[in-house]
Chains A and B, each alone.
Chain A
Amino acid sequence: MTTPIEQQVNKAYQYGWETDIESDKAPVGLNEDIIRLISDKKSEPEWLLEWRLKAYRHWLTLEEPDWPNVKYGPIDYQAIHYYAAPKQQKRLDSLDDVDPKLLETFDKLGIPLSEQKRLTGVAVDAVFDSVSVATTFKATLKKAGVIFLPFSEAVQEYPDLVRQYLGTVVPHTDNYFAALNSAVFTDGSFVFIPKGVRCPMELSTYFRINAASTGQFERTLIVAEDGAYVSYLEGCSAPMRDENQLHAAVVELVALDDAQIKYATVQNWYPGDPETGVGGIYNFVTKRGACRGRNSKISWTQVETGSAITWKYPGCILQGDNSIGEFYSVALTNNFQQADTGTKMIHIGKNTRSTIVSKGISAGKGQNTYRGLVKIMKGAENARNYSQCDSMLIGDQCGAHTFPYIDVRNSSAVMEHEASTSKVGEDQIFYCQQRGLSAEDAVSMVVNGFCKQVFKELPMEFAVEAQNLLAINLEGSVG
């Protein structure tokens, strides 16, 4: 007999359909010619090609990391298409030139790109496989001095800016997947907020993997100059496929004096088949922000509900005195999903502060690991960190694991760490049911209450979306 919780934790993935569109793919496999091909497709300057090749050569010397607390079979890096783009004859000058099938795709995902329907107050860059298909509100942003462009366009229009910052936060030598990304990255977003400018609207990028046997390797770079402010959100989804698809992105943030960057992710990649665990996205991502200036602030908020495997540690390098790093995370693993995620806070400057709030939810056979590093360097006088890691278990076949690493080299540091584990019990669900709520609403209420601290960091519209996503991804999972 299934319990009320069991019945309600599994709902099907809603974004698993595929767009039937002809695509222009690079031949399968990875070698220097493929990298030259990608660079050529994007009409890149010579320095960028060299940068890619250097990264590729370095990657060849690396081994895939095996320390994360996740299990998966070997990845055949020669079986992946490193470039796929919907066939498009010319460069797009306006939305009218975009293939209606693509517009439809994003409409269906709830990301309307057409002028009349788009979300007010949010500018969207839509990335389909390896290319950006549309960016809204470009003109409005330009007027404010804000640059918000697909990465490949930014390389054409602002090569010096890109060159100045690219790879300065996550160098190509950082790790295996960052090296791979540096070699083959295709598109992503570039954001530049000049001195003293408060970005007038939320910026958002939506990533969609569509083509089969392709990887998505996007690169995002956000720079906020002195006193600038920006809030950025990324979302993602993919069709259901029996193969595992690789998503290895790199995100770099740079905040100068008094600048603030808020970066939020609502990740909903296809998690694999709920019954067998077959398929799903491998989400191996490197995200890091550098608080280079005094009083700068970077906040990461992530809601990770999808992917077969998640491996990511959005972190902050707190270099400027008085700089602040924040990490708010909800990670859900249901059915056969595995997540090894957390953050790194590196305190270098004086009076630097960091806050970590991590909420891990495991259901079904899901395995959820928090892994975090807080490092206080020698010169970081009066650094402070507050960490809170809470795990919630739904059912009795899932697992929650916590690996906090703390490395303090300055005795003036103040560190606080709290951790808790709780279980969504039949009693909690029954209590809500006795008050008239369905079991489904009850689980969703309990889980949302658990995640509240993180959701309140999201922009309003996205907080609602995150709650709904969580409810959908929880359907049917407890045992």
Chain B
Amino acid sequence: MLKITNLHASVGGTEILHGVDLAVDAGQVHAIMGPNGSGKSTLAQVMAGHPAYEVTQGSIEFQGEDLLALEPQERAQKGLFMAFQYPVEIRGITNAYFLRSAVNAIRKARGEEEYDTIDFLDVLDEKLEAIGWDDSFLNRAVNEGFSGGEKKRNEILQMAVLEPTLAVLDETDSGLDIDAVRVVAEAVNKFRSPDRSTIVVTHYQRILNYLEPDVVHVLHEGRIVRSGDKALAVELEEKGYDWLRAEVAAG
């Protein structure tokens, strides 16, 4: 589904990623962990195509296509979704309108029929019910006046509605209390399926308790320095990143 090879990327002339290799199969959940400044969010932003990041070397193949050749919206239309670490506010535009515009833009790009307002509300209701949320979100302006937790939940709602084939969650758990982490994780689990993959970028192991990742990677100074199963996350939680730093330094 996703194959990242020797990816180098920089922002403002400073190289952040120094050769990342990563392969994710359909249906898998991968966790990318690492300390602050290791390049986790950069990796997510580069996948999504943020214009501030420049790829200087390497490639990303997504469902057999050259992802880096596509505009951000084309990546979204082909099924890539990123839950933002800092979701953006859009004044005067309701969540319901925003979601419908997004879904319809994607459907249009795929040659599918666009939803009218009524049909779309049915689709929304179904998603809300599936993740156990009420519709109070829908008529508020996108993220405006939302608490940190509400913004993150809103990202997950968008993911549920847009049904991506690959979802990248960029520190969706940070800033959430333990109950909110569980709620978000459960919503992500509901949308797991054999043809969907998820990459969870996180600082902490706690969200992984609910998500059951297939593979855990540790990103350090712009490279993946270790990959393993869930036990790696537990080990990191116990020992902290310093232990790994020392080990990497020792070669």
Residues of A whose CB lies within 8 Å of any CB of B are 3-4, 422, 425-428, 430-439, 441, 445-446, 448-453
Known: A434-B72, A435-B162, A436-B106. A427 touches B88 (CB 8 A): yes
Cross-chain contact of B73 among A436, A445, A446 (Cβ < 8 A): A436
Q: Is the CB of A434 within 8 A of B105?
A: no
Q: Which of B15-23, B77-85, B201-209 contacts A (4 or more CB under 8 A)?
A: B77-85
User: A431 — which chain B residues lie within 8 A by C-beta?
Assistant: 84, 87-88, 90
* Residue contacts A-B, CB under 8 angstroms, 15 given: A3-B51, A4-B51, A425-B88, A428-B88, A428-B90, A431-B88, A432-B90, A434-B48, A434-B76, A435-B102, A435-B105, A441-B105, A446-B90, A449-B92, A452-B93
- Contact partners of B101 in chain A: CB under 8 A: 437, 441, 445
Contact B90 A437 (CB under 8 A): no
Min CB–CB distance B96 → chain A (angstroms) = 13
- Say if the beta carbon of B231 comes within 8 Å of chain A: no
Q: How far is the CA of A428 from the CA of B93 in the complex (A)?
A: 13
Main secondary structure of the interface of A (DSSP, over half): helix
Residue pair A451, B48 in contact (C-beta under 8 Å): no
For the complex formed, measure the closest distance between the CB of A307 and the CB atoms of chain B, giving whole angstroms: 25
A438–B70 Cα gap in the complex (Å)?
12
Task: For residue B45, give the distance in angstroms from its CB to the closest CB of chain A.
Answer: 9
Residues in A neighbouring B98, C-beta threshold 8 A? 435, 445
- Is B52 positioned at the interface, with any CB of A under 8 Å from its CB? yes
Interface size counted on chain B using CB atoms at 8 A: 30
Q: Flag if B73 contacts A439 (CB, 8 Å).
A: yes
- Determine whether the beta carbon of B76 is less than 8 Å from that of A435: yes
Name the residue of chain B whose CB is nearest to the CB of A426: B51
Closest B-chain residue to A445, C-beta based? B93
A436, B109: Cβ atoms closer than 8 Å = yes
Pairwise interchain contact A433-B88, C-beta atoms closer than 8 A? no
A436-B162 contact, Cβ under 8 Å, with A4-B51, A445-B98: yes
Residue of A nearest to B52 (CB): A426
Cβ contacts B59-100/A at 8 Å (1 or 0 each) = 000000000000111011100011010011011110000100
Let me know if A430 and B50 touch, CB within 8 A. Answer: yes
Q: How far is the CB of B202 from chain A (nearest CB, A)?
A: 19
With most chain B CB atoms within 10 A of its CB, the pick from A436, A437, A449 is A436
Knowing that A434-B81, A437-B101, A445-B93 are A-B contacts, what are 6 other residue pairs whose CB atoms are under 8 Å apart, sorted by A's residue number? A432-B90, A433-B76, A435-B102, A435-B105, A436-B77, A436-B102
B150-165 contact mask (Cβ, 8 Å, vs A): 1 or 0:
0000000010001000
Instruction: Name the residue of chain A whose CB is nearest to the CB of B104.
Output: A436
B83 to A: closest C-beta gap in Å: 10
Interface residues of B in 93-135 (CB under 8 A from A): 93, 98, 101-103, 105-106, 109
If A4-B51, A436-B105 touch, whether A451 touches B162 (CB-CB below 8 Å) is no
Whether B2 is near chain A, meaning CB under 8 Å from some CB there, is: no
Bitwise interface map of B from 32 to 63 toward A, beta carbon under 8 Å scored 1, else 0:
00000000000000001111100000000000
Kindly list the 8 A-B residue pairs having the minimum CB-CB distance in the complex, ordered from nearest: A449-B92, A452-B92, A435-B102, A433-B72, A449-B93, A431-B88, A436-B76, A436-B106
B82, B92, B141: the one within 8 Å of A434 (CB): B82
Q: How far is the CB of B31 from chain A (nearest CB, A)?
A: 21
A438: chain B residues at CB < 8 Å are: 73, 105
CA distance A311 to B164 in the complex (A): 50
B106 proximity list for chain A (CB < 8 A): 436
Nearest residue (CB) in A for B102 is A435
Query: A450 CA to B93 CA in the complex, in Å?
Result: 8
Q: Are B92 and A430 in contact (CB under 8 A)?
A: no
- Least CB distance, A400 to chain B, in whole angstroms: 16
Q: How far is the CB of B21 from chain A (nearest CB, A)?
A: 24
Contact present for A437 and B105 (CB under 8 Å): yes
Q: Which residues on B sit within 8 Å (CB–CB) of A448? A: 92-93
State whether A450 touches B76 (Cβ < 8 A): no
A453 to B92, CA, bound (A): 8
Contacts of A434 in B (CB 8 A): 48-49, 72-73, 75-76, 81-82, 84
Name the residue of chain B whose CB is nearest to the CB of A3.
B51
Residues in A whose Cβ lies below 8 Å from that of B49: 430, 433-434
Q: Shortest beta-carbon distance, A428 to chain B, in Å?
A: 5
- Cα distance, A448 to B109, chains bound together (Å): 23
Instruction: Give the complex CA separation of A392 and B130 in angstroms.
Output: 39
Q: Are A445 and B90 in contact (CB under 8 A)?
A: yes
With both chains docked as a complex, state the minimum distance between the C-beta of A449 and any C-beta of chain B, in angstroms: 3
When chains A and B are docked, how far (Å) is the Cα of A450 from the Cα of B142? 12
With a cutoff of 8 Å between Cβ atoms, the chain B residues found around residue A425 in the complex are 88
Q: Closest CB-CB distance, A430 to chain B, in whole Å?
A: 6
CB distance from A146 to the nearest CB of B (A): 35
Nearest CB of chain A from residue B198's CB, rounded to whole Å: 16
Cβ-closest chain A residue relative to B103 = A436
**A451 and B92 within 8 A (CB):** yes
- State A147–B230 Cα separation when bound (angstroms): 80
Interface positions, chain B 138-177, Cβ under 8 Å from A, are: 141, 158, 162
Nearest chain A CB to B99 CB, angstrom units: 8
Q: A452 to chain B: which residues have CB within 8 Å?
A: 92-93
Q: In the complex, what residues of A have CB within 8 A of residue B75's CB?
A: 434
Minimum C-beta distance from B107 to chain A (A)? 9
Which of chain B's residues have a CB closer than 8 A to the CB of A3?
A: 51
In the bound assembly, the distance between CA atoms of A435 and B105 in angstroms comes to: 9
CB-defined contacts of A422 to chain B, threshold 8 Å: 91
Separation in Å of the B48 CB from the closest CB of chain A?
5
Docked Cα-Cα span, A285 to B130, in Å, equals 57
CA distance A439 to B74 in the complex (A): 11
